Amino acid sequence: MARYAHPERTVENIITTATALFLEKGYEQTSIQDILDALHLSKGGLYHHFESKEAILSAVMEHCSKEYQKQLHDIINSIEAENGKAKLKELLRYLATHAQRYGFEKTTAIEAKNPHFVVNGMRNCMEVDAPLISKFIEEGISDGSIQTSDPDLCAEVFLFLINYWINPIINPDDCDQIKRRLSYLKHMMDRIGFDILDDELMEDIWHAYQKNN
């Protein structure tokens, strides 16, 4: 019974270890035995908390998502800028240049190695992240710095394209193709009045992609 004396700590250790293994080897290539060996844990000790490897992956994704959301809210609350457009640009620049520090790429990297979880990531992007961005767009429309017509849809389209269509972790094309997509995203957003991707921000995002990948 000693192994269950601190169940919260055991669960945390399983999730932390599984996260590292999933990132290193990929979900499909990681076995339950790999997790057990890394933790020096018995099968009973693991199955007491998780009934399957799929359950462990769900817990890993939930943990990464909560961690990401908390950090994102903290960053958003710390941003000070003159208008909604400036706040959005500051947020994008910060996320691009601090991705490794805050581990924002961790969830995406796990998703990329587990295609059946990409859909879950997309859903979170639409249902959780987009409303946060939409509030900044609404602020920009109110203060006149942004001239787009539908902040909710604009946020969804922009985040989907920049997080999945352009992201080299999900879509590992060559550098020229990624840069072409980033330029075309700017062109599309400019056409709908969401002109936040200026040359300086484009360079910051591009350099961040090169550095992190």
Q: Are 76 and 141 within one domain?
A: yes
Domain count, the chain: 2
pLDDT digits (tens, 9 = 90+) for 188-211: 999 999 999 998 888 888 877 776
Q: Report CA dihedral (166, 171, 174, 180) to the nearest 10 degrees.
A: -20
The sign of the torsion formed by the CA atoms of 163, 169, 173, 175 equals positive
Q: Is the domain of 6 the same as that of 27? A: yes
Residue 32 shares a structural domain with residue 78: no
Q: Residues 111, 162: one domain?
A: yes
Contact 109, 100 (CB under 8 A): no
> Global pTM?
0.76
pLDDT in tens, 11-45: 999 999 998 898 788 888 899 999 999 999 999 99
The per-residue pLDDT for range 106-120, each reduced to its tens digit, is: 566 666 666 666 777
Q: Is the pLDDT higher at 151 or at 102?
A: 151
10 and 65 share one domain: no
* 78 and 181 in a common domain: yes
Domain with residue 40: its CATH number is: 1.10.10.60
Domain extent at residue 146: 60-212
54-79 residue pLDDT tens: 999 889 888 888 887 888 888 888 89
Verify that 196 and 179 share a domain, yes or no.
yes
Q: Answer whether residue 187 shows pLDDT above 50.
A: yes
Same domain, 110 and 176: yes
CATH number for the domain that contains residue 208: 1.10.357
Q: Are residues 35 and 83 in the same domain?
A: no
Question: Whose CA is closest to 45, among 32, 58, 54, 57?
Answer: 32
Could you tell me if 122 and 78 lie in one domain? yes
Q: Is the domain of 182 the same as that of 201? A: yes
Confidence (pLDDT) at 102: 44
φ, ψ for residue 132, nearest 5 deg = -65, -45
Which one of 14, 31, 51 terminates a domain?
Answer: 51
Residues 107 and 189 in one domain: yes
